[in-house]
């Protein structure tokens, strides 16, 4: 291993050794102020603690790879491993060091994943020789994390606003329903999907996908594949006909696409129906309709009549439909823009970790 300038090479157990957590059965858990850190993070709080903070905790059994930083006193659960001695290293730097190690790669066990701390302790790593440089690195990465967390909170709030707005606009007769200004005098009507649109399925198989294909290829998942052919060119609504995405996967399309044979396409909307408005109504209500039609906890497949006979509530005025669509699209586009920025910040963080935690960029 090449030594990077004046960084030093050490075994991980000489930097921040790990120790198994402490038993705390649910029957002995008493709600309190101290976080209980499990393999997948803080899931509870107890009236007492085992370790004074700050602390770094990761999974020993169950969830492997997640690393949690704890500011104050805490209880590391027996499903976790905690840093028992920082050996004069900066705790937050050690946190990022463990994140950078990608502990999931050390996971063993065919049933419940486990992490052997000795496998981690054997790892040779390079670290800055001074506390000041460790703290400088931790500060940059912490600031980036704060930006990411702020964006995540903003997206969460925007999604709540979107959900509430959609519910209110699509259900004007409910107590919290609202009407857009200028449309109060227009009536709404009940109709069915089959009465206002055509319904069919695609004819392709998943293996027909091409990684760099020219056109979007809609299969039975939220992920959109690619393909070099198209069988539909226009405006439509897509939903999975079977599989794990049944009643949960929806797409609105407008253009050239190809479609899996078990994906339903709703298209050729009547002149008094806005396609995107119908997509919003269908997406919001179809899962509940399916669950009402079965005694099981899940639906294995969708039949055409389940879609065709679905009752929908729509404004008589297509202008009102379009106005509602536009309002919800604006909110959705705002969230999409924030999510793109979030993705960029996450990529930036990974690049910063690669540069800062290997000494390729020096801050001190």
pTM more than 0.85? no
Average pLDDT of adjacent 10-residue blocks, the chain of 364 residues = 70 96 95 96 96 96 94 97 97 97 86 89 93 96 97 97 96 92 93 97 95 95 95 97 89 97 97 97 93 70 93 96 97 96 96 93 84
The verdict on whether omega for the bond into residue 298 sits within 30 degrees of 0, i.e. cis, is no
Q: Are 90 and 131 in contact (CB under 8 A)?
A: yes
Strands (E), the chain: 8-11, 18-20, 34-38, 41-46, 55-59, 67-70, 75-76, 80-83, 107-108, 114-115, 124-127, 188-192, 198-201, 215-218, 224-227, 232-240, 250-259, 263-267, 311-315
pLDDT for 66 equals 95
Tokens describing residue 115: 């992490």
Strand, helix or coil for residue 169:
helix
* N-term to C-term CA, the chain: 22
pLDDT for 305 equals 94
Tokens describing residue 137: 């690195």
Burial class for 362, CB neighbours closer than 10 Å (0-12, 13-18, 19+): middle
Please give the full DSSP string across 147-161, using - where no structure is assigned. Answer: HHHHHHHHHHHHHHH
Q: What is the pLDDT of residues 128-167, one digit of tens each?
A: 989 999 999 999 999 999 999 999 999 999 999 999 999 9
Tokens describing residue 248: 């949960």
pLDDT for 295 equals 54
């Amino acid at each position: 291993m090449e030594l990077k300038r004046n960084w030093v090479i050490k075994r991980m157990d000489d930097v921040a050794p790990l120790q198994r957590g402490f038993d705390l059965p649910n029957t002995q858990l008493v709600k309190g102020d101290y976080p209980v850190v499990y393999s997948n993070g803080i899931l509870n709080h107890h009236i007492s603690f085992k370790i004074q903070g700050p602390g770094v905790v990761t999974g020993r059994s169950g969830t492997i790879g997640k690393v949690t930083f704890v500011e104050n006193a805490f209880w590391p659960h027996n499903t976790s491993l905690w840093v028992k001695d920082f050996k004069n290293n900066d705790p937050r730097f050690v946190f990022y060091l463990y994140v950078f190690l990608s502990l999931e790669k050390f996971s063993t066990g065919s049933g419940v994943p486990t992490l052997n701390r000795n496998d981690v302790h054997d790892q040779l790593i390079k670290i800055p020789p001074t506390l000041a440089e460790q703290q400088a690195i931790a500060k940059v990465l912490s600031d980036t994390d704060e930006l990411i967390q702020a964006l995540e909170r903003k997206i969460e709030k925007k999604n709540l606003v979107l959900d509430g707005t959609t519910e209110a606009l699509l259900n004007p007769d409910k107590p919290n329903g609202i009407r857009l200004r200028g449309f109060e005098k227009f009536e709404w009507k009940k109709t069915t999907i089959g009465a206002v649109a055509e319904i069919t399925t695609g004819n392709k198989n998943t293996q027909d996908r091409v990684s760099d294909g020219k056109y979007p290829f809609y299969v039975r998942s939220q992920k959109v594949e690619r393909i070099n052919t198209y069988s539909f060119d226009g405006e439509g609504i897509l939903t999975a006909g079977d599989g794990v995405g049944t009643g949960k996967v929806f797409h609105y399309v407008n253009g050239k696409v190809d479609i899996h044979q078990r994906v339903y396409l709703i298209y050729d909307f009547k002149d008094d129906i806005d396609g995107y408005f119908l997509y919003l109504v269908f997406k919001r209500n179809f899962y509940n309709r399916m669950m009402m039609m079965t005694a099981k906890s899940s639906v294995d497949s969708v039949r055409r009549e389940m879609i065709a006979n679905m009752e929908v509530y729509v404004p008589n005025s297509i202008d009102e439909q379009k106005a509602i669509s536009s309002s919800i699209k604006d909110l959705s586009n705002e969230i999409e823009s924030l999510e793109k920025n979030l993705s960029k910040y996450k990529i930036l963080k990974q690049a910063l970790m690669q540069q800062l935690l290997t000494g390729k960029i020096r801050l001190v």
